[in-house]
């Protein structure tokens, strides 16, 4: 009897992200400067979009204006994603503002219309997608990428990141090792020595002598060549070659993706003490793009167009403009919602300063406002909050608790810095004395934690501080 074939039906669920959803997510994580560049490009190519309010006495664009806009868009090589014909738009006069649902039915190809160079974040995320298929590693890796500074360094402690993401430090370490295999070489390092070591390892030049040199970069800074020859076990000629090789490396690999003109930190959200004693949270109007879909112009042009290609272009313009205005409104609402939760959780900071910071994770904010953790991460990327105490990156307000208590690690580090700065030349606090002072203030922290935070702040040990303040000791 021949083998029989079986036909089985299985049900399953999978998450499919539409191009429009992907583009809306990208809009969410853009900085206000990047968003302004993107919107400007859309205004150039889409005649149905209008910047600012449309005055009733303003002359309406003509059919000739529309056709010129079409030619200009085609000449520039701009293209919109084709889609089904839009539902018939209302023909009433006036303009439609940025209101509506979260996502439209169609959107522009962001990569083709955004007039800016690829950012370091985008460059690394594209590589990360190819480097691993593990969703856990990808999620942690994306968070690490978003937390690199403009030079490409990771300055935050891995245990704090692990606590924020509710994963193990080993998982974060594995994700960081993966990030450090990406280009540009040296990215994701936590120190200059590690950055140079990554580059040397890729060149197969990280031998024991070079490892010793990297471990004693402070001798390089002091030009203590005799000391370097001793710790590296090399002669003068070999040391000269090693130093020349070090000079050929890139100490700040991320700067290749930083524009020459560095933007001043401009707040996306303003949080102020209100007259009634509460906190007022509002979007910064200076960073909000103000664009409208001119529905009356769409209706007028739609009446007179005869060629199919003109009608198709008009349809694409309408769909793209509808998607963009709705997505910008959703972006603003999402940022405001996250900022309001930050204000609620970190109210003591806005009243007391850094010492009032509380532990707060992406997960806790996501659960509080009913959003996905990845959404909170994207909102926090490239955004800033303006306060009466200055302007801070939004991710500054996220941080884990100290290992021994419920105080924010940032607040504890700030207090350690204050204690050190208040030291006199004859009264230098040891790590144990600092820990005891903090414990007296209600902050349960161990001596080893004080030492770790002090080193992260690049504060010398008590012996080093004593010698610096009193060289005769």
Q: Is the pLDDT of residue 71 over 70?
A: no
Q: Is the pLDDT of residue 25 over 70?
A: yes
Lowest mean pLDDT, pick from 40-44, 105-109, 337-341: 105-109
User: For residue range 326-380, what is the model confidence (pLDDT) as tens digits?
Assistant: 999 999 999 999 999 999 999 988 988 887 888 888 888 999 999 988 889 889 8
- Strand runs (DSSP E) across 45-189, as ranges? 49-51
What is the mean predicted confidence (pLDDT) over 307-328? 87
Query: What's the confidence (pLDDT) of residue 258?
Result: 65
419 in Cβ contact with 436 (< 8 Å):
no
Query: What's the confidence (pLDDT) of residue 80?
Result: 43
> Domain coordinates of the chain in residue numbers?
269-286+337-397, 409-469
User: Phi and psi (nearest 5°) for 154?
Assistant: -100, 110
Query: What's the confidence (pLDDT) of residue 16?
Result: 53
Could you please report the per-residue DSSP string of 430-453? PHHHHHHHHHHTT----HHHHHHH
Quick one: DSSP state of residue 142? H
Q: How many CB atoms lie within 10 A of CB 34?
A: 17
Query: What's the confidence (pLDDT) of residue 462?
Result: 82
Q: How far is CA 95 from CA 73, 99, 292, in A?
A: 23, 11, 6
Query: What's the confidence (pLDDT) of residue 105?
Result: 35
Percentage of the chain modeled with pLDDT above 90: 22
91 in Cβ contact with 16 (< 8 Å):
no
User: Phi and psi (nearest 5°) for 427?
Assistant: -140, 85
Task: Give the pairing of strands 49-51 and 291-293.
Answer: antiparallel
Q: Residue 328's closest CA among 89, 14, 107, 93?
A: 107
409-469 sits in which CATH class? mainly alpha
Q: What CA–CA distance (Å, rounded) separates 250 from 153?
A: 12
What is the mean predicted confidence (pLDDT) over 66-71? 68
Lowest mean pLDDT, pick from 13-22, 374-383, 431-440: 13-22
Lowest mean pLDDT, pick from 35-49, 80-94, 153-167, 170-184: 80-94
Q: Is the pLDDT of residue 84 over 80?
A: no
Lowest mean pLDDT, pick from 61-75, 116-130, 306-320, 380-394: 61-75
Q: Residue 107's closest CA among 5, 24, 213?
A: 24
Q: What CA–CA distance (Å, rounded) separates 419 from 414?
A: 9
User: For residue range 219-277, what is the model confidence (pLDDT) as tens digits?
Assistant: 888 888 899 999 999 998 888 889 988 988 999 998 887 654 444 678 999 999 988 88
- Confidence grade of residue 199 (pLDDT, cut at 50, 70, 90): very high
Q: Is the pLDDT of residue 94 over 60?
A: no
What is the mean predicted confidence (pLDDT) over 54-72? 62
Average pLDDT, the chain: 79
Q: How far is CA 55 from CA 32, 93, 165, 292, 429, in A?
A: 26, 11, 49, 12, 67
Q: Is the pLDDT of residue 85 over 60?
A: no
Q: Is 111 helix (H, G, I), strand (E, B) or coil?
A: helix
- pTM of the predicted model, to two decimals? 0.56
Work out the end-to-end distance of the chain between its first and last CA atoms, rounded to an integer number of angstroms. 97
What is the mean predicted confidence (pLDDT) over 24-35? 84
């Amino acid at each position: 009897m021949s083998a029989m074939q079986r036909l089985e039906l299985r049900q399953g669920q999978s998450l499919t992200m539409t191009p429009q959803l992907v583009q809306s997510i990208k809009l969410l994580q853009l900085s206000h400067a990047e968003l302004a560049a993107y919107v400007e490009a859309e205004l150039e190519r889409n005649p149905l979009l209008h910047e600012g309010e449309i005055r009733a006495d303003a002359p309406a664009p003509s059919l000739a204006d529309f056709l010129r806009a079409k030619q200009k868009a085609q000449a520039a090589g701009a293209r919109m994603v084709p889609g089904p014909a839009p539902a018939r738009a209302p023909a009433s006069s006036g303009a439609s503002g940025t209101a509506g649902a979260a996502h439209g039915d169609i959107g522009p190809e962001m990569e083709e219309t955004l007039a800016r160079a690829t950012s370091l974040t985008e460059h690394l995320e594209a590589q990360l997608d190819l480097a691993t298929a593990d969703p856990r590693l990808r999620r942690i890796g994306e968070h690490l990428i978003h937390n690199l500074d403009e030079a490409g360094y990771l300055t935050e402690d891995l245990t704090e990141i692990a606590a924020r993401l509710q994963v193990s430090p080993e998982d974060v370490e594995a994700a960081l090792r993966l990030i450090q295999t990406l280009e540009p070489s040296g990215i994701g390092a936590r120190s200059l020595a590690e950055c140079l070591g990554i580059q040397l390892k890729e060149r197969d030049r990280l031998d024991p002598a070079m490892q010793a040199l990297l471990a004693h970069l402070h001798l390089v800074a002091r030009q203590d060549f005799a000391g370097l020859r001793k710790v590296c076990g090399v002669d003068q000629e070999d040391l000269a070659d090693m130093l020349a090789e070090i000079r050929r490396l890139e100490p700040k690999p991320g700067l290749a993706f930083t524009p020459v003109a560095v933007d001043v930190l401009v707040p996306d959200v303003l949080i102020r003490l209100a007259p009634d004693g509460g906190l007022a949270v509002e979007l910064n109007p200076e960073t909000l793009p103000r664009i409208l879909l001119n529905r009356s112009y769409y209706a007028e042009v739609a009446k007179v167009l005869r060629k199919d290609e003109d009608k198709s272009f008009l349809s694409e313009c309408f769909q793209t403009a509808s998607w963009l205005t709705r997505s910008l409104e959703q972006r603003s609402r999402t940022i405001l919602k996250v900022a309001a939760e930050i204000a609620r959780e970190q109210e003591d900071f806005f009243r007391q300063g850094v010492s009032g910071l509380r532990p707060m994770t992406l997960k806790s904010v996501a659960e509080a406002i009913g959003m996905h953790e990845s959404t909170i991460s994207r909102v926090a990327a490239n955004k800033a909050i303006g306060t009466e105490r200055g302007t801070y990156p939004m991710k500054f307000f996220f941080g884990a608790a100290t290992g021994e208590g419920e105080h924010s690690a940032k607040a504890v580090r700030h207090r350690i810095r204050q204690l050190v700065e208040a030291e006199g030349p004859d009264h230098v606090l040891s790590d144990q004395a600092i820990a005891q002072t903090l414990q007296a203030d209600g902050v349960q922290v161990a001596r080893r934690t004080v030492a770790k935070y002090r080193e992260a702040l690049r504060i010398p040990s008590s012996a080093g501080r004593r010698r610096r303040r009193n060289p005769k000791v």
